[in-house]
Every structure is written in C-alpha cells, then in structure tokens.
C-alpha cells in the first residue's frame, strides 16, 4: 500500500511539474508577443503624429486613443513603454483640444462630427493614464455630457464601423468619461444622466460584437446589477468561435479586434478569469494569428472618407483598423500575462 502511495505522489508531482513548465513557457510566449506588438504600436503612433501634420493636424482613435489605453495598461503591468512615445501621444490629445478652434467649439457647445467619438476615446486614454483634470478636459467632458439623447444614449455621427459607429460604444465611453472628468459641482447631473444611460443600455439589444462588448462595459461602468452583468457576459462568451476568437459580425471571420475587446470586457466585468479555458483559448487564437512583425491584420469595412495617413503600420489600407485591433489584442494579452505574477 505504501509503495502505491509513493508512486501516486510521484506521478502527481510529475504532472504538476509538467503543467508548471507549460504555464511558464506560455507566459514567456505571451510576454514576447506583447513586447513585439508594443514596439510596432509605439513606432506607428509616433509616425502617425509626424505624418498627420501635413494633412489634418490631428490625432487618432486607433493609434492615440486606444493606443494610450494600451500603453497605460502595459506600464501598470511592468512592460516597457517609451516615456517619450507615451507623453507624445498624451500631448497630442491635450494640444488638439487646446487649439483656438477646439476651445471655441467646446465653449459654444458646438457639435462637429468627431467630438463624441474622438473626445470619448481621448478621455478614456487620459483617465487610463490617471491624467489630472484641467479646464480644457472639463469643458470637453461637459460638452460630451450634454450631447446625450433624450432616450439616454449618445450617438456617433461618424459612420466608420466598428470603431466609430455604434451608440453602445459612444454611450459606454461617455458615462465612464463624464464620471471621471465632469466637475464635482455637476455630479448630480452626471448621475442622472448615468441612470438614463443605464436604462438605455438595458432596454436595447446589441447585435454586432462591438455592441455586445460595450453594452457589457457600459453596464459595468454604470454600476448595473451584477446578475444582469453576468447574464450579458454569458451572451458575449457564447459568441466565441471554435478557433477561440470572436468576429465583428456573424457573417465575418474571427479577428484580433473582436477577440481582444471581448476578452478585455469579459475580464473587466469579473466574469472570466485569465486562467479560464475560454480566455486561454482566445489567447491561443491571438498568439497564432499575430504576424512576425508584432501586428495583427484586420480588414477595413468602413468607407474611407478621411485622409489616409501612413503611420508605417503594416497592412496597407487596413492600417487604421489593424492598429486598433492590435491594441485590443495587446490589452487582452497583457491581462493574460498577469497570471504569471499572481
């Protein structure tokens, strides 16, 4: 009996050692993938800002808005991010809204096409970086707050799916940002608007994956009932494909954009741990589809009505959405790398 017990203990130890070795190997693979993607995301962020001056003198949601969120998450989790690149991206955001024309827009509560989506991605990046508020940021947050529709949602006027298209995205980001940056004296108004937004998020059915993701994040950011959040997370999780990824639409193939944001939202909602098989399956998909240069390719499905700016990011005319998809994928991988330190 004793020898069987010893043999059993030996086999268990061997099994545990094997699993530990596999976990360490995968963690190393994840960290390498993050390092490669951060490198190309940083270089393309700089190149975009350098080249955009010639055309429009602005910044972007795909390289700077989401990029700053990614860089901030990376820095918080011990990954190397150039302070020069990071600060350049933040400065481009702040300087844009400090221009005379932008300040006039904010002061007069004007409504240019880009303000709801660009402003929201900008504020998300700033809050993710724990950027201290100032008068310009407060004006931007108030401008966005008062663009809420009567039914409780915010609307994206720009027709550029998936990044700048859906009301679920605009609404979720708006409530997060007005809570972060609208002055304390207006907090009663903020919470009234958050309640209306929560009601809209609950009463409308998402169809595209982007809508499911931001419905879940929006309910989280509006402090919705935990049981409802779990229910919505379950529906998003059920959309995972056999290959481990998610697709933007049922008619499209899986890609890094939909997969990365789904994993991010499910983790943030508290409904999917990075150690869960479904999360690991999604990570396997991302690792297997990353290009050697550190990027992921996502095919554009928006009409190109804004000037094209070459950022040096791969995939030609798919640069913009591929950068966004690579940011989402990187965020999901960064969260997965947390497992090693836990």
Residues 179-199 pLDDT 10s? 999 999 999 999 999 999 999
Indicate whether 154 belongs to any domain. Answer: yes
In angstroms, the Cα distances linking 250 to 209, 258, 333 are 8, 11, 24
Residue 94's pLDDT is 93
Indicate whether 19 belongs to any domain. Answer: no
Q: Where in the sequence is the domain holding 244, given as residue range(s)?
A: 31-341
Residue 201 has pLDDT above 70, yes or no: yes
pLDDT band at 283 (very low <50, low <70, confident <90, very high): very high
Indicate whether 104 belongs to any domain. Answer: yes
Identify the CATH number of the domain in which residue 71 sits.
1.50.10.20
Tokens of 151: 């039914």
Indicate whether 17 belongs to any domain. Answer: no
Percent of the chain with pLDDT over 90: 79
Between CA 156 and CA 275 the distance in angstroms is 35
Residue 136 gets the label, from left (phi > 0), alpha (psi -120 to 50) or beta, of alpha
Mean pLDDT, to the nearest integer, of 265-291? 98
Indicate whether 6 belongs to any domain. Answer: no
In sequence order, what DSSP letters do the residues of 94-119 get, joined into one string? Answer: HHHHHSHHHHHHHHTT---TTHHHHH
Single pTM value for the model: 0.92
Q: What is the tally of structural domains in the chain?
A: 1
Of the chain, the end-to-end C-alpha distance in Å amounts to 37
Mean pLDDT, to the nearest integer, of 40-47? 97
Higher pLDDT, 225 or 103: 225
Indicate whether 16 belongs to any domain. Answer: no
Between CA 4 and CA 10 the distance in angstroms is 10
Indicate whether 9 belongs to any domain. Answer: no
Mean pLDDT, to the nearest integer, of 259-278? 98
What average pLDDT does the chain have?
91
Residue 44's pLDDT is 97
Q: What is the pLDDT of residues 70-100, one digit of tens each?
A: 999 999 999 999 999 999 999 999 998 988 6
Residue 174 has pLDDT above 80, yes or no: yes
């Amino acid at each position: 009996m004793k020898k069987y017990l010893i043999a059993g203990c030996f086999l268990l130890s061997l099994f545990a050692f094997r699993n530990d070795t596999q976990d360490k190997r995968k963690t190393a693979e994840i960290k390498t993938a993050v390092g490669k993607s951060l490198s190309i995301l940083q270089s393309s962020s700089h190149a975009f800002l350098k080249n955009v001056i010639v055309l429009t003198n602005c910044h972007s949601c795909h390289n700077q808005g989401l990029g700053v969120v990614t860089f901030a998450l990376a820095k918080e989790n011990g990954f190397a991010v150039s302070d020069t690149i990071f600060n350049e991206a933040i400065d481009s955001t702040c300087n844009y809204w400090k221009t005379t024309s932008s300040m006039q827009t904010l002061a007069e509560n004007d409504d240019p096409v880009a303000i709801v989506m660009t402003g929201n991605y900008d504020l998300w990046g700033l809050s993710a970086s724990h950027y201290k508020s100032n008068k310009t940021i407060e004006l931007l947050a108030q401008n966005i707050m008062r663009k809420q529709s009567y039914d409780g949602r915010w609307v994206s006027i720009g027709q550029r799916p998936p990044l700048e298209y859906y009301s679920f995205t605009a609404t979720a980001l708006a409530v997060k940002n007005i809570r972060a940056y609208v002055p304390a004296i207006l907090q009663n108004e903020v919470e009234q608007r958050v309640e209306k937004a929560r009601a809209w998020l609950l009463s409308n059915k998402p169809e595209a994956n982007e809508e499911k993701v931001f419905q879940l994040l929006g309910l989280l950011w509006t402090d919705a009932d935990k049981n409802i959040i779990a229910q919505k997370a379950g529906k998003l999780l059920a959309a995972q494909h056999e290959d481990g990824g998610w697709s933007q639409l049922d008619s499209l193939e899986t890609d890094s954009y939909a997969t990365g944001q789904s994993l991010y939202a499910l983790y943030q909602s508290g409904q999917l741990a990075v150690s869960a098989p479904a999360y690991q399956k999604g990570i396997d998909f991302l690792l297997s589809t990353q290009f050697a240069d550190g990027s992921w390719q996502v095919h554009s499905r928006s009409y190109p009505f804004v000037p094209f700016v070459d950022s040096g990011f791969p995939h030609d005319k798919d640069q913009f959405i591929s950068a966004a998809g690579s940011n989402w994928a990187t965020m999901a991988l960064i969260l997965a790398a947390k497992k090693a330190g836990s």
